[in-house]
Structure 1
Amino acid sequence: MISRRSFLTGVAATVAVGSLAACGKKNNGTGGGKTVTLGFSQVGSESGWRSANTTSIKDAAGAAGINLKFSDAQQKQENQIQAIRDYITQKVDVISFSPVVSSGWDTVLKEAKAAKIPVILTDRQVDADASLWVSLVGSDFEAEGERAAHLLEKVLGQSSGPVNIAVLEGTTGSAPATQRAAGFKKVMDASHPEWKIVASQTGNFTRDGGKQVMAAFLQSHPEANVLFAHNDDMALGAIQSIQAAGRKPGTDIKIVSIDGVHDGFVAMTQGQINAIAECNPLLGPQLMDTVKKVLAKQSVEKWIKTQESDFLAADAASALPNRKY
């Protein structure tokens, strides 16, 4: 079992579950003529990365001839739990979701297992009995945190002086926030006693959150000269606050972030972000392939990792025209 820390949100709420029809094909690739129905619950639409992830899943479902029932949890775990229960009631063939937080899933996943509906996780891991889900299609977030730290090493080069790091964390209790922080600190503790985290707070993976929290950091910790953002959207929001404070992003405050969205690459071409560790949101084709294999009783890996790269500001101009999100 892959264990994760998390928190639970409170009051139960209902979620409207929409349906996206497949594009024509009836053969689901599993050897039968029945159209496969996939129930998918998305975290929300909090960032450019998430929007690209949603588009990839919808497009891939259509291309694969899979009937997709899609719901947006609006960043609330109770909405996702309700959506999963709705999918169980509707007797979909497969359930997939990108969990808002890591824990609190055992009960509903047991309900899916009792209904004999396989569950495939995407993007994020859960702290639950591994027998309750078939596979995870997604990134290694701890490795992303390590990669971000190694990028910072390259950004700082041979420069001397204090390295005072402000951290914009992702949503509290979410797998990427927990694991990216752990990966970054692993490298920092092992190799860089001169690095110091002077401030760390959640910006909830949103641009506005990054802007607001960074403004507070600049007031309470003016000594900060490095920003590690758990995603590009928070980094982009932070850039606005850094500029408003009369400081130069990418120069006065070095910035390393994670994701690799289009706007993040634009900021790199402008020298405002120094480096980005990519987290690939285009999981749709891999997910649909996994759905078909599971229904065909074929073996699948427990963790199907995505392929990702690292980029320094010097790479941004040449890479930007080829970015798909």
Structure 2
Amino acid sequence: MRWRPLPAVLSVLVAIVAIASVIGVRSAARAENGVVAAVKSGGPRYGLSTVGLSFPFAAAIAKGFSDAAARAGATAIVLDAKGDVQKQANDIDDLIAQHVAGIAVMPLDSVVAQGWVARAQRGGVPIAAVAALVGNPRTRKVEDVYPGLVALASQDEVAAGRAAGTLAARLLPAGRPARIAVIEGAAGFPEVEQRARGFRQALDAAGARYAIVAAQPGNWTSEGGEAACQNILAAQPGIDLFYSEADDMVIGCARAVRAAGSPARLIGVGGSKLAIASIKAGAVDGTVCFKPEALGALAFQALHEDGGPRFRTYPIPAVTRASVDACVGQW
């Protein structure tokens, strides 16, 4: 069996990292109104509307945004949408009413977000998107930044899926079609379709023989990933590879695979600290390295500086145990 237990010391380390992450997120989100302000410098105020600070990736973006604002002598106002599209719309309206110097938004719904851009324009407030595009994700390329946005700071999510698919192609069994299961994020997030599309593109380009025999949402969480993989393995124990569209879900899926005694290979997306530790320990096969703090900083810079590229990104390599040291987890 491919999986082997984490060494005791590493297990303790992973637990400490997880607890520290939860404490940090809870502290950041403790205000009843969902507002977290960076160090107030008396300079211009910039708003960031996040999908939810309970998501470690979103909390890391908020940290990068706030840190960049502090370095520039500005104040960051971080609003927690708590996964609620209507609350996010209200938060953006509040920022526009406050006449902040600029707004960065991690859109919960990329199509609905088109209306938010229009409202910001009418209010004379520059707006940028971060981590997800605005517009129809099925038809708009990531580098084709939605009209009215100052910039989009994001990974190319289709490219991230391709990186995962290229890695998966090397792990599939030879001599027969592979059985693949996809653990998706949550409905409404454009990354769900984009990461799946890129994954299939890479497998097809590699000439892989495969069938995606199951796909279930894991809702971006470790618990959701574990439950989805448990359900799939109960119905189809012969899965060869699980592709989780986020690292939190691949961590949960690894628990389900171990409990079932399955030899299925495991690939995630995101470069989280726990995923990196699990790759080093042999519990996960690989991931795609994201840098959410860098995204937050890029979004702030796009609002604070004049000019520059409208699409802002950074390299997103796939890593395995042999190359994982090149990925420093930021969430």
Do they fold alike, i.e. is TM over 0.5? yes
Verify: 1:134 aligned to 2:150, yes or no: yes
Contact 1:17 1:69 in 2 (8 A): no
| Structure 2 CA distance for partners of 1:74 and 1:130, relative to 1, 3 Å | same
Q: Distance in 2 between matches of 1:19 and 1:207?
A: 25
Tell me the amino acid that sits aligned with residue 183 of structure 1.
G
CA RMSD of aligned residues (A): 2.0
Match for residue 4 of structure 1? none
Paired residue secondary structure (1:131)? coil
Which of 290, 293, 301 aligns to 1:289? It is: 301
Tell me the amino acid that sits aligned with residue 170 of structure 2.
K
* 1:224-250 C-alpha deviation (Å, 9 max, x unpaired): 110001011000011111122233xxx
Match for residue 212 of structure 1? 227
Tell me the amino acid that sits aligned with residue 37 of structure 2.
L
Match for residue 227 of structure 1? 242
Paired residue secondary structure (1:149)? helix
| Structure 1 segment 81-160 matched on structure 2, within 5 A | 81-127=89-135, 130-156=146-172, 159-160=174-175
Contact 2:195 2:245 in 1 (8 A): yes
Paired residue secondary structure (2:312)? strand
Aligned-residue offset at 1:19? 4.8
* 1:177-236 C-alpha deviation (Å, 9 max, x unpaired): 111011111223344351110101211111111011111101112121100010110000
Match for residue 183 of structure 1? 198
Tell me the amino acid that sits aligned with residue 257 of structure 1.
G
* 1:281-322 C-alpha deviation (Å, 9 max, x unpaired): 1223322221221xxxx3232211123222112223x447x5
Q: Distance in 2 between matches of 1:113 and 1:319?
A: 40
Unaligned runs of 5+ in 1: 1-14, 27-34
Verify: 1:310 aligned to 2:322, yes or no: no
Taking structure 1 as the reference length, the TM-score comes to: 0.83
Contact 1:61 1:284 in 2 (8 A): no
The worse-fitting range, judged by mean Cα deviation, of 93-102 and 281-290 is 281-290
Match for residue 203 of structure 1? 218
Match for residue 22 of structure 2? none
The worse-fitting range, judged by mean Cα deviation, of 231-240 and 298-307 is 298-307
Match for residue 259 of structure 2? 244
| Structure 1 segment 36-47 matched on structure 2, within 5 A | 36-47=44-55
Verify: 1:20 aligned to 2:34, yes or no: no
Match for residue 275 of structure 1? 286
| Structure 2 CA distance for partners of 1:253 and 1:19, relative to 1, 3 Å | closer
Q: Distance in 1 between matches of 2:182 and 2:309?
A: 33
Match for residue 64 of structure 1? 72
Tell me the amino acid that sits aligned with residue 39 of structure 2.
A
The worse-fitting range, judged by mean Cα deviation, of 129-138 and 199-208 is 129-138
Q: Distance in 1 between matches of 2:203 and 2:318?
A: 18
Taking structure 2 as the reference length, the TM-score comes to: 0.82
Aligned-residue offset at 1:118? 0.8
* 1:15-51 C-alpha deviation (Å, 9 max, x unpaired): 9352514354x5xxxxxxxx21111110113443233
Paired residue secondary structure (2:191)? helix
Q: Distance in 2 between matches of 1:191 and 1:319?
A: 25
Q: Distance in 2 between matches of 1:263 and 1:179?
A: 24
Tell me the amino acid that sits aligned with residue 182 of structure 1.
R
Q: Distance in 2 between matches of 1:253 and 1:173?
A: 28
Contact 1:99 1:124 in 2 (8 A): yes
Match for residue 275 of structure 2? 264
Q: Distance in 1 between matches of 2:76 and 2:34?
A: 11
Match for residue 139 of structure 2? none
Contact 1:44 1:50 in 2 (8 A): yes
Paired residue secondary structure (1:130)? coil
Match for residue 188 of structure 2? 173
Contact 2:288 2:318 in 1 (8 A): yes
| Structure 2 CA distance for partners of 1:107 and 1:47, relative to 1, 3 Å | closer
| Structure 2 CA distance for partners of 1:221 and 1:291, relative to 1, 3 Å | same
Q: Distance in 2 between matches of 1:104 and 1:262?
A: 32
